[in-house]
Amino acid sequence: MADQKKSDPFQYDFDQQWDVERALYGQLWSKSTEPDRKQEDVDVFLPIVNGQVPAQTKEKAAEKEPDKEKKSRPTAVTADASTTGKSSRMPPQPRKKATPAGKKKAGKRPNYKGWAILAGMAITAILILCLLIWFFIWVLSPADGAIDEDATETSTTETVPTTTVDYDAIASGLLEEAELQSAMYDYDAAIATIKSFGSGWTQRTELTQAVQKFEQLKSQTVRWEDTTTIPHIFFHSLIADNARAFDGQYTEDGYNQYMTTIPEFVAMLEEMYARGFVLVRIHDIAKLDKDENGQDVYRQGDIYLPEGKKPIVMSQDDVNFYEYMIDSDGDHLPDAGGDGFATKLMVDDSGDITCEYVTAEGQTVYGDYDLVPILEHFVDEHPDFSYRGAKAIVALTGYEGVYGYRTDKDGKARLSPAEFQKEIDGAKEVTRWLNDNGWEIASHSYGHPAYGSLSWEELAQDVSRWEEEVQPVVGDTDIFIYPYGSDIAGIEEYSGSKYETMYDAGYRFYCNVDSADYWVQIWDDYVRQGRRNLDGYRLWYDPEMLDDLFDAEKVFDPDRPTPVPPI
């Protein structure tokens, strides 16, 4: 508290002030009551007021009061006066005049000066407060000081805060969201969306009727009996310009064998949708469960669809947009001399997925030039083609970056730090969009080697490079899609150092290539699925193997050169 007093400029030390005034008051009182006091007494008294006690004062005081017992004051512990030349006694305080017998001792004089200061401060504070109140009244009052009664009523009415909740709009929004979830066979999510309106949802007819409808639709679904009968189809990059891809150059045969044109892909989607196929995630095929020992094991998943609907898995390999497909002059940039493929995936300003594409005239445009945006927009129009929002698997290598962004080490060496970081940021933005919109990401190896032909050391090195360069950009994945369909084993259960390396890297779902309608293995520790390639070779040489999906003759692009070269 002592420190606080000292630091406060408005704290007045009334005790100290009173001691000084008391001494002065005593001096004046002495002069007024003893007119015959000698000047020498006055001269002696004044130094006392100033904290000094002359020697003759002490002597006179002793002569005047020889018989009275003096009250001693505390003395400071100092050196002996004889050795220091200074008195060890503290300066005496001014003496008070003795009170005559029979008279009451006079009380202390009130601190009028201190109280006056306090009163002044209080009055000042009141004046400041009044000025502030007047200022705010003046600011808030109408112009020219005129206050109209009608205006006063209007102003009061307009400034009353009102909170209006448009419950109809909220209910309408929830209904729209729930209808989309229901169209994708996620009836539990649709019901939960309706009930998120709050306890009052039961008082709204449109909401209660919607819940009843969703519950009825859910009751009509059936569990897919055997998830090992689910087919898996896959594509490579789609040809956006047939004339540029089939131009007679050395790449034409490969494009004709392994690629699908955009018109063919769209026709396939429409035919499969008409036949009741529904896209599911590969993770819907199997789920982790507990065995009798409490260990995690894979068991068949639970897929509930209406009668007549059939689950199917889709994937696309090499979503990297390799430079040999889009760069004709070797400067690492897409140009008009490219082979008619999209150059990269990107998220546009509206938050939608799109493709960058360089036309034959060298103009850069954006649109649905590859599988991802085409399928995404097809599902927008046909939400019942997707089971609970599922889309497809995007399989990536790493040696030339991902999604068309040069995020590899060569790109880092070639680009400035700012340019390389821009490539990383663009790829990460695409990854976030894919994850948020029902797509899954898979490793397609780092360098696209045939894993079945690699030694264990070579396989381990490729797995490691993926983890170092690609995983930081696209995140973890437990799906591995073998390049060329080259599996590390036959139909027998996995074992050995290659499998252990891949398992330790986190892979649990493995996909090879198989021409059968479907091929799935569900083991305790992993799941393996065969895929069918829907490309020029399959359309031309094995159309009957696609009869369960569509009529190959109807979807075959007439611009495709025939016969398709054999592999």
pLDDT in tens, 179-193: 999 999 999 999 999
pLDDT of residue 559 exceeding 70, the answer is yes
pLDDT of residue 487 exceeding 90, the answer is yes
Whole-angstrom Cα distance, residue 149 to residue 155? 10
Element housing 529 (H / E)? strand 527-533
Whole-angstrom Cα distance, residue 222 to residue 524? 25
Which pLDDT score, from 0 to 100, does residue 126 have? 84
* Measured torsion, CA atoms of residues 472, 408, 534, 347, in degrees rounded to the nearest 10: 70
Q: Is 434 exposed, middle or buried (0-12, 13-18, 19+ CB in 10 A)?
A: buried
Closest by Cα among 549, 499, 497, 555 to 523: 499
**Residues 6+ positions from 279 with CB-CB distance below 8 Å:** 311, 312, 313, 314, 379, 385, 386, 387, 390, 391, 392
Whole-angstrom Cα distance, residue 79 to residue 211? 100
Closest by Cα among 376, 263, 276 to 316: 376
Mean pLDDT value of segment 332-344: 97
Which pLDDT score, from 0 to 100, does residue 131 have? 77
pLDDT in tens, 394-435: 999 999 999 999 999 999 999 999 999 999 999 999 999 999
Whole-angstrom Cα distance, residue 472 to residue 398? 11
Q: How confident is the model at residue 111 (pLDDT cuts 50, 70, 90)?
A: low
Closest by Cα among 533, 505, 515 to 442: 505
**pLDDT over 70, % of the chain:** 75
Which pLDDT score, from 0 to 100, does residue 522 have? 98
**Ranges 36-50, 95-109, 433-447, most confident:** 433-447
Q: How confident is the model at residue 470 (pLDDT cuts 50, 70, 90)?
A: very high
Q: How confident is the model at residue 120 (pLDDT cuts 50, 70, 90)?
A: confident
Which pLDDT score, from 0 to 100, does residue 125 have? 80
pLDDT, greater one: 105 or 432: 432
Other Cβ atoms less than 10 A from the Cβ of 13: the count is: 11
| 320 neighbors 401 (Cβ within 8 angstroms) | yes
Quickly list DSSP for 273-308: HHTTEEE--GGGTEEEEE-TTS-EEEEE---EEETT
Mean pLDDT value of segment 74-81: 40
pLDDT of residue 2 exceeding 60, the answer is no
Q: Tell me whether strands 520-522 and 527-533 are parallel, antiparallel or unpaired.
A: antiparallel
Which pLDDT score, from 0 to 100, does residue 283 have? 98
Which pLDDT score, from 0 to 100, does residue 81 have? 38
- What does pTM read for this prediction? 0.72
| 303 neighbors 224 (Cβ within 8 angstroms) | yes
Question: In the chain, what is the greatest distance between 2 CA atoms, to the nearest angstrom?
Answer: 146
Element housing 223 (H / E)? strand 221-223
- Rama region for 102: left / alpha / beta (φ>0; ψ in -120 to 50; rest): left
CA R_g for the chain? 47
Distance from first CA to last CA of the chain, Å, rounded? 96
Whole-angstrom Cα distance, residue 551 to residue 428? 39
SS3 assignment, position 261: strand
pLDDT of residue 338 exceeding 50, the answer is yes
CA atoms within 13 A on the CB side of 380: 9
SS3 assignment, position 244: helix
**Ranges 95-104, 118-127, 298-307, most confident:** 298-307
Which pLDDT score, from 0 to 100, does residue 136 have? 63
> CA separation (Å) from 498 to 447, 502, 507?
17, 6, 12
DSSP state of 469: I
Which pLDDT score, from 0 to 100, does residue 387 have? 98
Average pLDDT of the residues of the chain: 83
Quickly list DSSP for 67-135: SSPPPPPP------HHHHSS-SSPPPPPPPPPPPTTSPPPPPPP-HHHHHHHHHHHHHHHHHHHHHHHH
Domain 229-555 coded CATH 2.30.110.10: no
pLDDT in tens, 9-66: 444 343 444 444 444 444 444 444 444 444 444 444 444 444 444 444 444 444 444 4
| 434 neighbors 375 (Cβ within 8 angstroms) | no
**Residues 6+ positions from 353 with CB-CB distance below 8 Å:** 345, 346, 347, 372, 373, 376, 430, 433, 434, 437
Q: Is 266 exposed, middle or buried (0-12, 13-18, 19+ CB in 10 A)?
A: middle
**Residues 6+ positions from 201 with CB-CB distance below 8 Å:** 171, 194, 195, 207, 208, 211
pLDDT of residue 89 exceeding 90, the answer is no
**pLDDT over 90, % of the chain:** 70
pLDDT of residue 507 exceeding 70, the answer is yes
What is the residue type of 42? V
Whole-angstrom Cα distance, residue 324 to residue 336? 13
Mean pLDDT value of segment 211-238: 97
Q: How confident is the model at residue 6 (pLDDT cuts 50, 70, 90)?
A: very low
